[in-house]
Amino acid sequence: MKISSEKINALVPIIIFILLAVFWLSSCGTFERMTMSLEGRIIAKKYIKNKYDFNAKVVGTRVPATINIEESCFPQTSGYVIVKMEYNGKTFEVHCKPDKEDNERDNYQYEDILGMLEQNIRDNIDIPTEEIITYFDVNYYKDGMLHDYVDDSNLVEIVSERTGGGRAVISLVNQDVNAIDVEKLSKATGIDRFLIVDYEDMDAYLECPDRSFSIDESPGLYVLENQIYINEYREASKNNDDESWYEQYEKIKKIKVDDMVFIPSLYEETIEVSPAELDPAARWYTEYGLHNLSQVYPAYEIQTESSMVFMYIPRHYFLPGAGGDNLVIVGQKKNEDGTTSYNKYDTRVVGGYLYAIHHGETVTISVLRGEE
């Protein structure tokens, strides 16, 4: 059959487009990512079968890219394939690198390992505990990825030697934080950092908005915000170079005035609080995004040499509408030249309280409410 020149001319642009598309897809890494994705699926299924002796379902794949715009029209692949899998209702991930053997790792066991760590801690504590939260990362990635199968025989070795370190937060209610032997717990778990917190009572324990104290970051730092709920805490961390332990113990000093609570940053420091008068709300700046400001809480003068004072004002005082919206803790200070400074604190909601940090100087504080 003879093809007319008109039809040939019509097909030429289509053929050129197809050839350009194939070239573009190949050069920009799309074809490479498709190939890696298929290889990753095969590797992941075989790896999981060999490790756990079950067949998992692949529910998705992803090939991360590295930023390298100068060398390619699109970022180049990182070489890794992330395979999302599911087995018996449980979803997990497998990371693999198709061009390298025996580098696969997965997080199927992550929750089970945390449970093993928690149980080992409970088995080695002689006082009542309300809650134990455990955590470990791998090479400082928060993904729980491990190549080895973990059980009681190698748990301590895996956590202590093949991860970025284990952590645990132990919650107590009216118990002695110093009664716990952290070295014994470390030998039973491989965990090298503990935060032991004793709460005022069961209500305080239940009301604390973050009982993990951001364990996946640096838990000791997050005690400060939530210290309104606790009596004392102890932080212990192991120096793996010489096996020594560094410990910090603090008993929280709370100064209660009416329904407010003030806590100095150094707990032996003093704070003097007395009733005071705040200038009319109309005198205050309104660039906080609010207008029609009104004073909704008594004013108090704070005198202290503490570098920081943590201030807590119960939100129930502001019911209805006690969510903290449009409420701001403010500070009024008399300057040496006779002028007055009006400042707004970074006001946050911590559980049942409005919370702000005051930096040591004499100031009159109160709470203003405004309209957006």
- Could you tell me the two tokens for 161? 């030697």
pLDDT at position 106 = 94
Please write down the long-range contacts of 285-291, taking CB distance under 8 Å and 24 or more positions apart: 285/342, 285/344, 286/370, 288/328, 288/344, 288/370, 289/372, 290/326, 290/328, 290/368, 290/370, 290/371, 290/372, 291/370, 291/371
pLDDT, residue 123, reads 96
Residue 324: pLDDT band with limits 50, 70, 90 = low
The string of DSSP codes covering 74-136 is SPEE-S-EEEEEEETTEEEEEEE-TTSSS--EE-TTHHHHHHHHHHHHHTT--S--SEEEEEE
The predicted structure's pLDDT at residue 74: 53
Q: In the Cβ-directed half-sphere of 98, how many Cα atoms lie within 13 Å?
A: 19
The top-scoring range by mean pLDDT among 89-103, 140-154, 165-179, 318-332 is: 165-179
Q: How far apart are CA 263 and CA 228, in angstroms?
A: 8
Residues 54/40, Cβ–Cβ less than 8 Å: no
Give the range among 44-48, 90-94, 318-322 with minimum mean pLDDT: 318-322
Q: Are residues 271 and 362 in contact, defined by beta-carbon separation less than 8 angstroms?
A: no
Asked whether 210 and 222 are in contact (CB, 8 A), the reply is yes
Summarised one tens digit per residue, pLDDT across range 295-304 is 889 999 999 8
Quote the distance between the C-alpha of residue 291 and its chain's center.
34
Whole-number pLDDT of residue 141: 57
Burial 115-124 (b: 16+ CB within 10 A, else e): ebbbebbeee
Predicted pLDDT at 69: 43
For the chain, helix, strand, coil in percent to 5 are 25, 35, 35
pLDDT class of 144 with cuts at 50, 70, 90: confident
Residue 313 has pLDDT above 70, yes or no: yes
pLDDT above 60 (res 17)? no
In angstroms, the CA 130 to CA 170 distance is 8
**Alpha carbon distance 360, 246 (integer Å):** 29
pLDDT recorded at residue 311: 93
Integer angstrom CA distances of residue 112 from 109, 152, 155, 212, 227? 5, 11, 11, 18, 31
The tokens describing 46, both together, are 């075989």
Report the SS3 class of residue 272: strand
**Across 132-151, average pLDDT:** 81
Could you tell me the pLDDT band of residue 135, with boundaries at 50, 70 and 90?
confident
Sheet containing 193-199: which strands, arranged edge to edge?
131-137, 165-173, 193-199, 230-239, 244-251
* CA–CA dist 163, 156 (Å, integer): 11
- Provide, rounded to the nearest whole percent, the portion of the chain with pLDDT above 70: 80
Nearest C-alpha neighbor of 214 from the set 231, 193, 232: 193
In this model, does residue 222 exceed pLDDT 70?
A: no
